[in-house]
Structure 1
Amino acid sequence: MLTRYMAGVVAARTGDEMSGPALLVAGLAATGSPLLGASLLAGLTVSAAVGGPLLGVLLDRARRPGRLLAGCLLGYAGGLLLVAYGVGRAPGAVLVALAAVTGLAGPALTGGWTGQLPLVSGPDARRLTRATTLDAMSYNVAGLAGPAAVGVVAAVGGGTAAVPVSVALLLIALPAAWTLPAHDVPATAAAPPPVLDGVRVVLRNRVLRRATAGSMVSCAGAGMFVVSAPMLGLELAGDSGRGTLLLAVTAAAGLAANGLLAWRGGPRRWDTTLVRSTALIGLGMAAAAGAGAFAGAYWMAVVAAAMVGAGEGPQLTALFAVRQREAPAGLRSQVFTTGASLKITSFAAGSALAGPLSAHAAGAALLAGAALQAVAVAVFFHRAGR
C-alpha cells in the first residue's frame, strides 16, 4: 500500500512542481517579462488559504478520502490547461483569476495526501515515522524532476509546452488517489462541518502555532527564490532555462539531505532541526544573491542552490514530524491541509513581491528572501530554545 501511495504522490507532486515553473516560463515567453508569470504563480497559490481548511474537513469526514483527492487532481489539471491555453490570448487579469480558482485544489497535492499517511502506514509509530520521511522525500524528488522537466520541455517544445506534461503527471496519480484506504467516519459527520477546527488546533497548540508561523515566513522567502531563479539564469548564463535548472539542483540537495536523515534514523529534536535547516536556507539565498553580482558566475548560483536544498529537505521532514506528533487523530487532515494552505498562500505573497524585485535585479529578491529566512529562524528558535 505504501508503495502505491508513494508512486501516486510522486507523480502528483512532480506535476505540481512543474506547474509553477511552467507558468513562469510561459509568461516570460509570451511577454518577455517575469511579471505575468509571477502573477499567474501568485494567483495559483494565493487561494489555498480558502481551499485548504475546507478540504481538510471534507477529507476527515469522508469515508473514502482518496475519491475526493482524485476529484481535486482532475480540477487542478483542467484549470492548468485553461490557463496555459489563455496565455497570449486572454487578458492577464482573467488568467490570474482562473489560476486562483484552480489553486483552490492545490492543498490536495500537499497536505491532503500527507494527512492520509496513518491510513497507509498503520498505527505503528516506527512505520509512521518512516512513511513521514518518505513522504517528505517525495517533495524533493518532485522538486528535482519537475523544474528539470520544465527546462527540457520548454527548450524543445516552447514556452507553453511544459504545462500539458504537468497535467499528464497529475492524471497518472489518479489511480493511486482513488484507491487510498477508507477510514471510519466521525460520529459528528451528520453535523455541519466545523471548518475552523483545524485552524483552532493550530492556534491553540503552542508547538503547532510556532511551527506554522515559522514555516509561513520561510515559505514566503522560498517563493522569492523560485521566481528569481529564471531571471538569475538569464543574468548569469543568458538563458532562463538554466535558472529553472537551479530549482532542480535545490531539490537534488534536499533529497540527498533527507536520505542522510533517514539513514541516521532522524534527529532527536525535530524542533532544533527546524532552526538549523532554515538558517542554511537563508545562507544559500544570500549566496545566490552574491552570485548575481558576478557576470558568468553560474557555478556560484549552483552551489548556493544546493545550500538552499540542503536546508529545505530536513526542514520539511521536521515540520511533518512535528505535525504528526502534535495533531489530534480526528483532525489530522485539517491540521495538514490548513498548514499547507497557509504555506502556499505565503509562497504566493513572496512570489508576487519577487516579480517586480526580480524584474529590477534577481539579487534584490534573493536578499529579501534571505531576510525572511532570518525572521523564520527567530520564530523557530524561540520554540527550540524553551
Structure 2
Amino acid sequence: MLASRRWWTSSTLPDQTNHAAVSGGSGWALARYVFAATLVRSADGGAVVAIGLLAHTSGHPGWVAGLLGAAITAPHLLGPFIARRLDTATDGRKVIALSALAHGALLGASGLLLPVTWALVPAVLLIVSGLFGPMLTGGVSSRLPSIAGPSQRSQRRAQSWDVASYGISGTLGPAVVASIAATTGPMAATLILAAAAIIGAGAVLALPRQAPVTDPGAVPSPARTLVTIWRSGPLRRTLTLTVVVAFSVAALPIYAVAIAPSLGSAALAGTLVAGYGVGNLVGSALLMVWPLRGDADKLTTLLAAAVAVTLMVVIPMPNLTAALIAFTLAGVANAVFFAATLAARSEYAPDEARGQVFIWVGALKIAAGSAGTATAGALIGGVTWMPVAAVAALSALAALVCGIERSRTT
C-alpha cells in the first residue's frame, strides 16, 4: 500500500516544492494559479448552460439539449482512467494545458456544428471534451500544494483561493454565459467559453513547474489508486463525505424550484440558488481571512455535520428573506467543508498518486451531484421537504459514522 504523509511537517521541503514557494514568491504564483484555474474551470462549468441555450435556439427539442449537457458531464467519470498521465509526466503543466486546449477546441467546434448538422456529431465532440474536464478541476488542484508554500497556514489559505475559483467558475460562470447569450447570442457565449479554455491553457503553462515523481514506474494504476484511497482511513473518509455531501447539496436547486411559488413567484428559485452560490463565495472569502486550523481528517467530519445542520435549517423557513439566508448559510458551510476536503487530499495523498487522488475524488463528487439532483427530482413529487430532510439525515449519518471510525483508529 502506498504511504501517505503530511509533507509540510518535514524540516526540509520535498523535491516537488517549487523555487517560487521557497523564495517567498508564492504570492505571485498563487495569483497566476487562481487566474488559470478560474479560466479553465469557467469553460468547464459554463459549457452545459451555453450548449443547452444554443441547442434551444437551433430548434432542437428539450431532450436533445439535456442529452448534450449529459455528454459534457457524464465523461467526467472516466477522467481518473486518463489521470495517471498527470503523475507520470515530466511536466504536468503540459498535460493540463493540452487538456484545456482540447476542451476549448472541441467545445468551440461542437458549438459551430450544432446549428448546421445532426446533433449526434457535436454530441460525440462534447463527450471527448468532457473526458478532459477532470483535468481542469481536480487536476489543476493537484498543482496547488507545491505552489502555496510549506506551512500549513499558507496551504490552507491557498486552498481557500481554490474554493473561490470553483465558486466563481461554477456560480458566476453560468450566469455570465446566460447574460452573454441573452445579449449577443448563445453562439457567442459558447465561443467565449472555448476561448477562455484556450487562454487558460497558456496560463497553466505560466505556473511554476512541479518536479515529477522520481520513478514513473512507482505511479499506480487508476484502480490501484482507488484501492489506496479506500485503504487509507483519512482518504477513505474524505472520499465518503465528499460524495455524500455532494449528493446532499444537489437537492437544494430542486427544492428551490418546489418552494419558490409559495414564496411569491416561481422565478424566485433562481434567487435562492444564487444565494447558495453567494454563500459559497462568502465562505471562501472568510477562509482567506481565517484559514482552517487543525487536523484535516477531523475537520471534514465536523464540517460535513455542519452542512447537514444547514440543510435542516433550510426546511422550515417561512418567507423569502429567511429562506434566502438559509440557502446562503448552506453555501457557506459547503464552501468551508470543500476547503477541508482539499486540505485532506493535499495532506494525505501519496506523492506518486497525488493527481489521481484529486481527480478520483473530483470525478466521484460530480457523479454524486448528478445522482443527488435526479433523486431529489424523483422524491419532490410527494412531500416537498422530504428530499432535503432525507439528504440532511444522510449527511449527518455519514459524519457520525466517519467520526466513530476515526475515534477508533486514533
Q: Match for 1:312: what amino acid?
A: N
2:278 aligned with 1:252: yes
CA contact (8 A) 1:75 1:102 kept: yes
| Aligned equivalent of 2:189 | 162
Instruction: Describe the shift of the 1:304–1:36 C-alpha distance in structure 2 as closer, same or farther (beyond 3 A).
Output: farther
Instruction: Describe the shift of the 1:108–1:32 C-alpha distance in structure 2 as closer, same or farther (beyond 3 A).
Output: same
TM-score by length of 2: 0.77
Shift of 1:349: 3.4
For residues 99-139 of structure 1, the C-alpha deviation after alignment (integer angstroms, 9 at most, x for no partner) is 33221111112111111112212333332222122212221
Which of 301, 308, 317 aligns to 1:279? It is: 308
| Aligned equivalent of 1:371 | 390
TM alignment of 1:334-353, pairs within 5 A: 334-351=356-373
| Aligned equivalent of 2:348 | 326
2:335 aligned with 1:313: yes
| Aligned equivalent of 1:42 | 70
Shift of 1:251: 2.3
Q: Distance in 1 between matches of 2:201 and 2:152?
A: 28
CA contact (8 A) 1:147 1:247 kept: no
Farther off after superposition, 202-211 or 27-36: 27-36
CA contact (8 A) 2:247 2:373 kept: yes
Shift of 1:226: 5.3
Farther off after superposition, 64-73 or 35-44: 35-44
| Aligned equivalent of 1:127 | 154
Matched position secondary structure for 1:47: helix
% identical equivalent positions = 24
Structure 1 stretches of 4+ moved >6 Å: 227-236, 360-364
2:243 aligned with 1:216: yes
TM alignment of 1:146-161, pairs within 5 A: 146-161=173-188
CA contact (8 A) 1:38 1:352 kept: no
Q: Distance in 1 between matches of 2:258 and 2:105?
A: 28
TM alignment of 1:261-280, pairs within 5 A: 261-268=287-294, 269-280=298-309
| Aligned equivalent of 2:229 | 202
Shift of 1:39: 3.2
Q: Comparing both chains, which one has the higher relative contact order based on Cα–Cα distances under 8 Å and sequence gaps of 6 or more?
A: 1
For residues 234-287 of structure 1, the C-alpha deviation after alignment (integer angstroms, 9 at most, x for no partner) is 996566xx7556544322211212322342332544134432342145337647
Shift of 1:140: 1.9
Instruction: Describe the shift of the 1:127–1:233 C-alpha distance in structure 2 as closer, same or farther (beyond 3 A).
Output: same
| Aligned equivalent of 2:107 | 80
Shift of 1:49: 2.0
Instruction: Describe the shift of the 1:218–1:382 C-alpha distance in structure 2 as closer, same or farther (beyond 3 A).
Output: same
Unaligned residue ranges in structure 1 (runs of 5+): 292-296
Instruction: Describe the shift of the 1:200–1:193 C-alpha distance in structure 2 as closer, same or farther (beyond 3 A).
Output: closer
Instruction: Describe the shift of the 1:71–1:197 C-alpha distance in structure 2 as closer, same or farther (beyond 3 A).
Output: same
Shift of 1:2: 1.5
| CA RMSD of superposed structures (Å) | 3.6
Q: Distance in 2 between matches of 1:86 and 1:73?
A: 20
Shift of 1:375: 1.7
Shift of 1:345: 2.3
Shift of 1:95: 4.9
Which of 111, 117, 136 aligns to 2:144? It is: 117
Q: Match for 1:264: what amino acid?
A: W
Farther off after superposition, 369-378 or 175-184: 369-378
Instruction: Describe the shift of the 1:129–1:311 C-alpha distance in structure 2 as closer, same or farther (beyond 3 A).
Output: closer
CA contact (8 A) 1:45 1:347 kept: no
Q: Distance in 2 between matches of 1:163 and 1:173?
A: 15
| Aligned equivalent of 1:19 | 47
Instruction: Describe the shift of the 1:322–1:191 C-alpha distance in structure 2 as closer, same or farther (beyond 3 A).
Output: closer
Instruction: Describe the shift of the 1:265–1:193 C-alpha distance in structure 2 as closer, same or farther (beyond 3 A).
Output: closer
Aligned residues, how many? 373
Q: Distance in 2 between matches of 1:375 and 1:17?
A: 27
Which of 64, 70, 91 aligns to 2:97? It is: 70
For residues 163-187 of structure 1, the C-alpha deviation after alignment (integer angstroms, 9 at most, x for no partner) is 2232232223222211233333334
Q: Distance in 1 between matches of 2:394 and 2:372?
A: 14
Q: Distance in 2 between matches of 1:26 and 1:370?
A: 36
Instruction: Describe the shift of the 1:304–1:93 C-alpha distance in structure 2 as closer, same or farther (beyond 3 A).
Output: farther
| Aligned equivalent of 1:294 | none
